[in-house]
Amino acid sequence: MIELMGGIEPARTLILTAMRNGACVVTGNKALVAKDGPTLHEEADKAGVQLSYEAAVAGAIPILRPIRDSLSGDRITRVLGIVNGTTNFILDQMDSTGAQFADALAEAQRLGYAEADPTADVEGHDAASKAAILASLSFHTRFSLDDVYCEGISSVTAADIAAAKDAGFVIKLLAIAEKLTPAADADGNTGVSVRVHPTLLPREHPLAAVHGAFNAVFVEAENAGELMFYGQGAGGKPTASAVMGDLISAARSIVLGGPGRAETTTGQVVALPITSAVTSYYIGLDVADQPGVLAKIARLFAEHGVSIEIMRQTIHRDADSNIESAELRIVTHRASEAALAATVEAVKGLDVINSVTSVLRVEGV
């Protein structure tokens, strides 16, 4: 049975009924697999049938089978993915043309990349479902949508894009799943951080070159090293390609008379909260233009154990009041999310800070 309706019901009931009656199932339903994948896999195992969903993540890009099969003898440490074409198109338009978010979204809707109600895309929910699936296969643990931290791109401004470009970065909405060890996690936890949020990437990073509505998934493994899978992530023909690949695989299994391909889950790795993630931060500050400001900010960062890697300052003069202020753009070294969040909160309390204009995470530095 091939299910391409989407949504939770009646798709869930129909899939379970088909498998209980001995049918292999091919689906592109990322929301259902992310929400209730464990139940679907259990029923497939009981019935001895094959459950396949390559089309659920990144369209035509063959990413789930390589993770499950080709890399099964390796240890994946991190997965970074641009897995939503709508948001990548919007951010790419903002980066290449200087457009505001609303204008880039309107263009995406005009071209058919975005739905009339784009909430699932721009708020990151679509990417979060795919992140849960990628994490489950990469780390042999059943992660659900509830395990994914999610932020969308609706708060990203043209000023954020321009400042990132000036510093040598591009902003992408990334789905990230990474294994954290006690050495990496400040709280001494071992587990997996699964998250979706706008992220700054250096322009030389392979994912930074993914334009338009294309998708790409960047995989890091202990022995294979760095791998990138790139291609069309949406659309009728790309989706059909992934569906047909799963269909042929299921048909071969039936012809050969073997059991359905089982899920690769072999253990349980803890899903860590966002506070355990290890990232760098990009922080935009509007500050008073007076002596000692930089020293105060640097001292506060040091007190919280966060090291500053890059600091850029631009002076502005208000045309009406003739009062000067400074705009600071700071990129930190990698530190725990908890330490970085605490640093940002402390910065807000400094008397020399007019406002915190933006806070974004950074990868690839």
* Nearest C-alpha neighbor of 280 from the set 183, 175, 364: 364
Distance between CA atoms of 116 and 135, rounded to whole angstroms? 30
CA-to-CA dists, residue 54 to 60, 129, 239, 265, 306, angstroms: 8, 13, 9, 17, 40
Helix residue spans in the chain (DSSP H): 11-20, 30-47, 64-65, 85-97, 101-110, 119-122, 125-138, 158-166, 236-256, 293-303, 337-348
Cβ count near 27 (within 10 Å): 25
From 30, 35, 46, 130, the catalytic residue? 130
Encode burial over 83-105: b for 16+ CB neighbours within 10 A, e otherwise: bbbbbbbbbbbbbeeebebeebb
> Catalytic: 165?
no
In residues, how long is the chain?
365
User: Catalytic residues, which ones?
Assistant: 130
